[in-house]
Amino acid sequence: MIKVLIVDDQAILADGIRSVLASSDDLEVVGIAQDGFQALQEVEQKKPDVVLMDIRMPNMDGVIATQQIKKRSPETKVLILTTFDDSDYILNAINYGASGYLLKDVSASALIDAVKNAYAGDTILPTKIARRIADAARLVSTDREIKLKRRFGLSEREVGVAVMIYEGFTNKQIASALKLSDGTARNYISTIYEKLGASSRAEAVSKMKAELSN
């Protein structure tokens, strides 16, 4: 049984989500929180496997709540509930460790499948706005792009991947956002490491930070 916590300040919407999830024998809704502070308390007390997290809430929004949950309970999966207008929020939440996001108009069956897939470790990036999030992830200054290209000899595509590495995206999230196979994403990342003279993600990020701070 997968334990799910719903976090949304709109009671009607939260109740609707609970009803949908209750239709699956594999899912159990263990609580509903109305803001990020309540979410942290519920996670500590009820140890959910998956948190369905609204973004725009009073007191503590979903982005900060996601950050705090992943710090305190790294094994808990967080799925963001969002609208088309929340791309900046989504990007920040994913950087903080969210497993992906769902549009609030998602169908009942897709919602159930997404919760199960997130629990299994998959990254949930609906194709409707995956490109928009990928574009936001690559939205860096020309100066920064030029520095990375000139210093490390990166191609256009490699710069895009390097920036996502720098911003904290996992290999799987990079592949999903850029519509690459896992193998292709790994090949790009390996090439970037080689060009940076790095043997690990941490070392690659460190080298990019050092270059971009100059």
Kindly list the structural domains of the chain, giving each domain's residue range(s) and its CATH number in brackets, ordered by start.
2-126 (3.40.50.2300), 138-212 (1.10.10.10)
Instruction: Indicate the residue type of 89.
Output: Y
Cβ atoms 72, 78 nearer than 8 A: no
Q: Is the pLDDT of residue 198 over 70?
A: yes
The string of pLDDT tens digits covering residues 110-131 is 999 999 999 999 888 776 666 6
Q: Is the pLDDT of residue 144 over 80?
A: no
Written as six digits, the tokens of 107 are: 């169908």
Region 16-26: mean pLDDT is 96
Taking alpha carbons only, the member of 36, 32, 33 closest to residue 63 is 36
Q: Is the pLDDT of residue 200 over 60?
A: yes
Q: How far is CA 195 from CA 22, 138, 143, 208, in A?
A: 50, 19, 19, 11
The string of pLDDT tens digits covering residues 47-58 is 999 999 999 898
Taking alpha carbons only, the member of 90, 122, 127, 131 closest to residue 106 is 127
- The per-residue pLDDT of the chain, averaged, comes to 88
Residue with tokens 């080689």: 194
Instruction: Indicate the residue type of 15.
Output: D
Q: Is 81 helix (H, G, I), strand (E, B) or coil?
A: strand
Q: Which residues pair with 51 in a beta bridge?
A: 5, 78
Q: Is the pLDDT of residue 86 over 90?
A: no
Q: Is the pLDDT of residue 139 over 60?
A: no
Taking alpha carbons only, the member of 139, 128, 140, 125 closest to residue 93 is 125
**Nearest-angstrom CA–CA distance, 45 and 41:** 6
35 vs 135 pLDDT, higher one: 35
Q: How far is CA 137 from CA 106, 124, 132, 162, 163, in A?
A: 23, 16, 9, 10, 7
pLDDT at 59: 85
Region 177-201: mean pLDDT is 92
Q: pLDDT confidence of 140, banded at 50, 70, 90?
A: very low
